Amino acid sequence: MRLFFVVGPSGVGKDTLLSGAIAADPALHWARRAITRPESAGGEPFEGVTEAEFSNRLARGDFALHWDAHGLSYGVPHTELPLGRDVLLNGSRAAIAQALAAFPGLRIIHITAPVPVLAERLLGRGRESRDQIEARLIRADQPLHAAVPVIEIANDTTPEAGVARLLQALRA
């Protein structure tokens, strides 16, 4: 199993590129996260859980990785990391050190786009309020863990070009 931690600022296109890569190569597995967000919010396929459910599952040891961001909790169940498959995971830049400690062979893919483009995409996506979008944009320049090699992918043209770049990185 190769585990790819796909990170980048909110609105950069992580979900879009991940879903395009999965559609192009069904052998890949996109790990489904548990998030304390209602499923009706849409976006990536995830499991919407209450804060109480999240805490219980965390205490039970259900999660291989977990972190908090944007006032939400995110967990990656062990069952979402099937052996023998290449796994794509929508990760957090702030959780890279933790993820590397748990999975030393982790590959980090950093998706980038200019900040004004992020703002436009977040407004277009319409999942967050204006205040939430502003808070997400403040995190746009969050630094990555310094000491690890990172595969950089610019998603600054079409989604199709971004997906093609991601697939190329996965096949390298």
Ligand X SMILES: O=P(O)(O)OC[C@H]1O[C@H](OP(=O)(O)OP(=O)(O)O)[C@H](O)[C@@H]1O
Amino acid making up residue 150:
V
159 is in an annotated binding site: no
Long-range contacts of 50-57, Cβ-Cβ distance < 8 Å, separation of 24 or more: none
11 is in an annotated binding site: yes
Q: Is residue 36 close enough to count as binding ligand X by CB under 6 A?
A: no
Q: Is residue 12 close enough to count as binding ligand ADP by CB under 6 A?
A: yes
Q: Is 125 exposed, middle or buried (0-12, 13-18, 19+ CB in 10 A)?
A: middle
Residue 92 near which of ligand ADP, ligand X, none (CB within 5-8 Å, type-dependent): ligand X
- The DSSP secondary structure of 130-163, one letter per residue, reads HHHHHHHHHGGGPPPPTTS-EEEEE--S-HHHHH
Residue 155 near which of ligand X, ligand ADP, none (CB within 5-8 Å, type-dependent): ligand ADP
Beta strand 34-35 with 72-77 is: antiparallel
Beta strand 63-69 with 34-35 is: unpaired
Both tokens of 144, joined, read 């990555």
Residue 125: CB minimum distance to ligand ADP, A: 4
Residue 18: CB minimum distance to ligand ADP, A: 8
Q: Which of residues 121-140 bind ligand X (CB under 6 A)?
A: 136, 139
Q: Is residue 159 close enough to count as binding ligand ADP by CB under 6 A?
A: yes
For residue 34, how many C-alpha atoms fall within 13 Å in the half-sphere facing its CB? Answer: 21
Interface stretch with ligand ADP, choices 9-17, 33-41, 53-61, 64-72 (CB under 6 A):
9-17
Residue 93 near which of ligand X, ligand ADP, none (CB within 5-8 Å, type-dependent): ligand X
- Which residues bind to ligand X, rule: CB under 6 A? 7, 10-11, 14-15, 69-70, 74, 90-94, 136, 139, 142
- Which residues bind to ligand ADP, rule: CB under 6 A? 8, 10-16, 43, 121, 124-125, 155, 158-159, 162
